[in-house]
Chain A
Amino acid sequence: MLQNLYNVIRREIRIWRNRPIYFLGSVGVMLAATLFFTTFMKEGLPQELRIGVVDLDNSSTSRNFRQQLDATQMGQVVEFASLSAAQRELETGRINGYVVVPEHFDQEVQAFHCPKLQVQVNLMYPVIGGALAYKDILFMVNLTNGAVQRQVLRAKGVPEYEIMGRLQPITTDAHYIGNAPTNYSYYLVNMILMGILGMCVTLVVAYSVGSELKYGTSKHLLECTGDDIWTAIVGKLVPYTVLFTVLGTCLQLLLFGPLHYPIAGNVGWLILATLAMILAYEAIAVFIVSVVPTLRLGVCLSALYSVLGFSFAGFTLPISAIPAGVQGLSILFPLRFYYLIYTKVVYFGCGFDAWWPYLVALLAFQLLPFVLCKRLYNAYKYQNYPRN
């Protein structure tokens, strides 16, 4: 039995050596994806967003407002001579928002005639840019307001220490748990890379299990194991489990080590969750090939299934904000349970007792291959399905 298992493992590694797809599909893909996602949003929060200003007043006050807006870390002012030019750039997403300073702005401020600034933002494309630009513009408008009020209060002789209390009676002291700088990389990168890792596991394992059928080698595989499908499957999966666990561990250590992503809990728990997620995706891949014992359909279904994981994990749009009719589908995706463990460990620093049910859920995926193992065995034994 153990000897058989060892033979299958050696056989699988021999297959790896002959066909580069296994290494390219795992190590190659993860390297490329990691390179992309760790460098793409390196700033964390977009800086120097293009914000338009249409200055119809051209006074010292309006110029001052423009310069202040430009001086914020987030904003970079682009000047427009006309409203229509700014509107067109806004509609096409080339600027994130614009402010119109009306004619006689300066005079009306001085005379307390409450001039109105027009603020337009595009909150659709690009969505982060639009939201941040909006925040930046409103911040600057309120600041300018404050400056005018302060002048008035000073002129009335209100003591300096009372001015802030009068200008802004209430402030908010915001704490962002687990991601103080509101960094987009911290928020997205770990989940996306783990999603891609899950995708790789499903595809590569489905490819490996299915290609025994396509290339007609499944009979030989069963011979190696003395006609035991379990030894065959376990033997085939051991090298993948090791390979993907090494990849997953390296990834977690890279993100929380040299790249300094914040983590409140123990990274060891996260590596445990990664391992459970990898095993779950392997079970799903075996299950898919058992359902459709041909390589190409197996790989197609694995692909169609695994891309949905990103939406159903709930890290962009929470599951509670998905229509009730499709919410339940989220339990079909191991990435969902990884995410639930991830939030507990990374954001709240919880220990085992807070998230063990999710780990159990991940392990429950191991039951899947048992459902249709007979079907896979028959397909391997008799090769009675079309090869292509």
Chain B
Amino acid sequence: MSYISKWFSETWQIFINELREVFHDSGVMIIFFFAGLVYPPLYNWIYSIGSVDEMPVAVVDLSQGSYSRRYLQKLDATRECELAYSCISLEEAQELMVSGKVHGIVLIPEDFDTRIVHAEQATVSTYADMSTFLYYKALTIGTNLVMLDEVHTIQTERYAASGFTGQDALQLVEPIQYDDTRLYNPNISFTMFFVYMCLFMILQQVMFYGSTTLAGTLREEGRSFARQIGGHGVGRIVLGRGAAYFLIFMFLGVYGAILVPWLFHMPIQASFWDTLILLAFFVADIILFSFTWSSAIAKRETVLVLLLFVSPIAVFLTGFTWPASNFSPFWKVISYVFPTTFGCRAYMTLSNTGSLSAIAPELWYMTIQTVVYYVLASVAMLVENKIITVRQKG
């Protein structure tokens, strides 16, 4: 009984001590509370529009017929494109594109109307500014939608001319039909997929950089927590310190992953409690992840200088753009190092489906990660303690 109460009182002391260290360190406070509180709404704000609509397009209509006019009117009516300039030559349009006034060119050749009237295939040429994929996307989707619609209209007109109307014509034009459901993000906007990924990424990176900065400080000042072993056990130190960060990061997590998206009207299907459960798994994981890797940090400022570049890499390893199924085996293994690889995926899935069972595999992976990092963090502390003792004796 006395052991248990001693265990609890010591863990409690370590917990209080760690909180005190955090709140007395202005560098760590900036990372935790400036980055943790300002970045989630800032990124939400930056990406709140998230797509290119009514992109300015230059048009070169060499055909000047009724079919080309109808095509262009339909293009102007799309959400994606706006006919901003009408040019007399491709060169003129190219100049507009180079100067950044338009981000796409649509060229309708001279024989466009003639070919359609002769029932031959007519071609529209498009030129996309590839400097941003959203420009390319807007032009491609805009022109393809109009093309499909025109194909449909022209075919129906022709069948009508040969005496097929109504259902008969439709059967011929589109013998196989389809209903497409574009789930979650029908306009392929950045808002959704980037912001969801970003919110969990911020939590991990803030925890990692903040806690390693603190660990570096303590080592620099010869007050590393590993020195405390002897009086306290490893478990008490890891759990006591961990509990301090758990408190801070559950707060930052509820703020960043629940409150901020709600304020920005993100379409989140997940209930508050389900997100809280996911956060608990994820926060435990990032804490032990940071404890493990902070073992290698001896000085306080070095971690930001040396490891800030890991952030964009971790972003790509979540597989939020480039699909995880297309990772090479090597990078796939590396991606398992980061809690965000599973955390971001789980948060996205949970936000989309609102079903906790859909993210069961990710919760499992995060549990395994947490256990592995718990063991590694404990071992690292024991090793550090050994080194310190040997040095002190030597």
Contacts and interface: CB of A to CB of B under 8 A. Distances in A.
B179 A116 contact: yes
A211 B299 CA distance: 12
A131 to B, nearest CB: 6
Nearest to A32: B309
A42 interface: yes
A64 to B, nearest CB: 12
B154 interface: yes
Given A148-B175, A187-B130, A170 B184 contact: no
A43 B326 contact: yes
A112 B175 contact: yes
B333 interface: no
Interface of B: 26-27, 30-31, 34-35, 42-43, 45-52, 71, 97-99, 115-116, 118-137, 140, 143-144, 147-148, 150-151, 154-155, 158, 170-186, 188, 190, 192-194, 196, 209, 213, 217, 299-302, 304-306, 308-309, 311-313, 316, 319-328, 330-331, 345, 348-349, 352-353, 355, 358-359, 361
A119 B184 CA distance: 14
Residue of A29, A49, A94, A122 with most partner-chain B CB within 10 A: A122
A124 interface: yes
B174 A114 contact: yes
What are the 4 tightest A-B residue pairs by CB atom distance, in nearest-first order? A129-B323, A124-B184, A296-B27, A343-B131
27 contacts: A21-B305, A48-B325, A91-B183, A91-B355, A112-B171, A112-B172, A116-B177, A119-B181, A120-B183, A126-B321, A129-B326, A164-B121, A169-B151, A170-B147, A172-B126, A173-B125, A174-B125, A182-B130, A199-B308, A210-B301, A297-B30, A299-B305, A316-B194, A321-B51, A321-B134, A321-B190, A322-B46
B126 A127 contact: no
Contacts of A50: 325
A184 B6 CA distance: 58
B50 A317 contact: yes
A182 B128 CA distance: 11
A323 interface: yes
Given A24-B306, A109-B175, A173-B125, A323 B46 contact: yes
A88 interface: yes
Given A126-B322, A148-B176, A321-B52, A40 B193 contact: no
Instruction: Give the secondary structure class of A's interface.
Output: helix
A54 B330 CA distance: 32
A300 B30 contact: yes
Nearest to A186: B130
Interface in A84-103: 88, 90-94, 96
B349 A121 contact: no
B176 A129 contact: no
Q: Which of B124, B131, B148, B193 has the most CB of A within 10 A?
A: B131
Contacts of A109: 175-176
B184 A123 contact: yes
Nearest to A41: B322
A325 interface: yes
Interface string A297-321: 1011111101110111011111011
B312 A195 contact: yes
A52 to B, nearest CB: 13
A15 B202 CA distance: 34
Contacts of B98: 344, 348, 350, 354
Given A124-B352, A149-B172, A303 B358 contact: no
Contact of B175 (A37, A46, A114): A114
Contacts of A250: none
A326 interface: yes
B185 A42 contact: no
Interface string A111-151: 01111111111111111111100100010011011001100
Given A91-B352, A318-B134, 15 more contacts: A33-B312, A121-B181, A123-B182, A124-B348, A128-B322, A129-B325, A148-B175, A170-B122, A170-B124, A172-B126, A176-B136, A311-B46, A318-B52, A321-B51, A322-B47
